[in-house]
Structure 1
């Protein structure tokens, strides 16, 4: 099972300068990228209160398209001022089968962490299997 939930605040840089048309071009490129992903799950890019945000979520039997990790890498590369979190539960990820992993995007860098509030999944989220 592969479950994920995340969001990204899209910013061209971490500074407070007016990004204007550059940010609009970045958002247009991201919108095209998201359309190519053709996700059957939640994958939304929209402007709210003058800022662009990406929201995503999904649940499939196995890690497969859309490649949401690649989307985070892509945003880090073209809009390094962006920030966000992606929570992932992948019971087929060796060494992390019983954890919620968090991908952190900040200042153009991605880091991976274990989510301590939801891990280990058994017993934090589910009862142990009693076969």
Structure 2
């Protein structure tokens, strides 16, 4: 099982004064990449109050069925001022199958951490197998 929930605030730079033309070009490129992913789950890019946001969420059988982590890596590269979080639970990740992982996107870098509020999954979220 591969469960994920995340969001990204898309920004060209960390200065906070993005060039509107360049930001729209970045968003257009992200829109194409998202369309190519063809996800049956939540995969949304929209403008809200003048700023672009990406929202993702789903629950698939395997992580390989959708490269949502790759989307975060891509945003880090093309829009290094962006920031966001992706929470992932992957029961096929060796050594991490009992953890919820959180990926942090900030200043052009994606880092990986254990989500201590939801880990270990057993017994925090579920009872042990009988």
Task: State the shift of 1:18 in Å.
Answer: 3.8
Whole-Å separation in 2 of the counterparts to 1:18 and 1:63: 33
Give secondary structure in 2 for the equivalent of 1:12: coil
- Name 1:90's counterpart in structure 2: 90
Cα deviation, 1:69-104, whole Å, max 9, x if unaligned, reads 100000000000000000000000001000000000
Contact 1:37 1:65 survives alignment (8 Å): no
TM-score relative to the length of structure 1:
0.97
Cα deviation, 1:33-88, whole Å, max 9, x if unaligned, reads 00001111100000000000000001011112320010000000000000000000
- Name 1:10's counterpart in structure 2: 10
Give secondary structure in 1 for the equivalent of 2:63: coil
Whole-Å separation in 2 of the counterparts to 1:9 and 1:95: 31
What is the root-mean-square deviation in Å for CA atoms of aligned residues?
0.7
Give secondary structure in 2 for the equivalent of 1:86: strand
Give secondary structure in 2 for the equivalent of 1:122: helix
- Name 1:107's counterpart in structure 2: 107
TM-score relative to the length of structure 2:
0.98
Unpaired segments ≥5 residues, structure 1: none
Aligned residues: 130
Unpaired segments ≥5 residues, structure 2: none
